[in-house]
Amino acid sequence: MKPLSLRVLKIFEEMKQERLDLHVLFEAAGNEPAERDRVLDAVEELLNVGLLENRGGDFYSLTAKGKKAIVEP
């Protein structure tokens, strides 16, 4: 898993939330637009491998597999 993808997962743990808005996940990138594009790529990667689940709109939640990946990166 790419470091930014792991960082995106850890934001859920840091915020103590199982469901987060994409705008919160952008915090993994900071203020650079190019870095925010990388966050979108990381979210897509996490969705494809089953660590995140789309909850509609801009909301995403951790799957059981995602929770485990945070504990055992």
Query: Which pLDDT score, from 0 to 100, does residue 42 have?
Result: 93
Please name the helix (run of DSSP H) or strand (run of DSSP E) that holds residue 62, with its range, or none. Answer: strand 59-62
> What residues does each domain of the chain span?
3-66
> Does domain 3-66 correspond to CATH entry 1.10.10.10?
yes
Q: What is the pLDDT of residues 27-42, one digit of tens each?
A: 877 777 888 889 999 9
- The one-letter code for the residue type at 30 is G
Residue 73 pLDDT class (50, 70, 90 cuts): low
Neighbours of 59 (CB within 10 A): 14
d(CA 10, CA 15): 9
